[in-house]
Copies of this chain bind each other. A is one copy, B any other.
Amino acid sequence: MDPAQLLDLERRLGMVEDELAIRNLAARFTDAVNERDVDAFRQLWTDDAVWEIGPPTSVRADGVDAITKLWLSLLEPKTLFIQLTHSGVINFTGSDSATARFTERERGKGEHDYYENLAIYRDELVRTPNGWRFKSRKYEYRYLDTSAFSGDVFAPASKKEAGA
């Protein structure tokens, strides 16, 4: 048997693992938002990451501390906030770097405000010793509706009780 065959298998498997790891990173972002899990959210980013939410919100945070602080300031006033992550495409730009785009939808509701959108997340990713991390995420709105909607809101179950 040719050792080159084994090396080739390993290279192909590594590409599959990298793709799944990046898809999982985006999924873990959404899960952290929907579960309001601060610790999980912090682990998604490089220390020097940049998070931008485009116009008309137009905010930006530099570094994981500022990103987490901004995230909490946006999330905490909402009694409802659910992010929906749909399909995405990944483009590897080097052995340890990639860009990605994910199609997003969010619905939120504060005490007197409503928020519903369609958007694209444009991402830069890097491989770190702890796995793939976001180097930057930019949320680009395509549609934003802040008019009132009906319906009832239910609080998330406790993370501790919830298991997964």
CB within 8 Å of B: which residues of A? 1, 3, 5-6, 9-10, 12-13, 16-17, 19-20, 23-24, 26-28, 30-31, 34-35, 54-56, 80, 82-91, 99-101, 103, 105, 107, 116, 118, 120, 122-124, 140-147, 149-154, 156-157, 162-164
Asked whether, in the complex, the Cβ of A34 is within 8 Å of the Cβ of B103, the reply is yes
Q: How far is the CB of A110 from chain B (nearest CB, A)?
A: 14
**Chain A to chain B contacts (Cβ below 8 Å), 28 pairs:** A6-B9, A13-B16, A16-B20, A24-B89, A26-B87, A30-B86, A31-B87, A31-B89, A35-B101, A56-B152, A56-B154, A80-B142, A80-B143, A82-B118, A82-B142, A84-B84, A84-B105, A85-B86, A85-B87, A86-B86, A89-B164, A101-B162, A116-B151, A142-B153, A142-B156, A143-B152, A145-B152, A147-B150
A89 to B54, CA, bound (A): 27
- Given A151-B145, A154-B143, the answer on whether A34 and B120 have CB atoms closer than 8 Å is yes
Q: How far is the CB of A95 from chain B (nearest CB, A)?
A: 17
A26 to B144, CA, bound (A): 25
Which of A9, A31, A118, A147 neighbours the largest number of chain B CB atoms within 10 Å of its CB? Answer: A118
A16 to B83, CA, bound (A): 26
A105 to B163, CA, bound (A): 21
A89 to B100, CA, bound (A): 18
Asked whether, in the complex, the Cβ of A107 is within 8 Å of the Cβ of B143, the reply is yes
A55 / chain B contacts, CB cutoff of 8 Å: 154
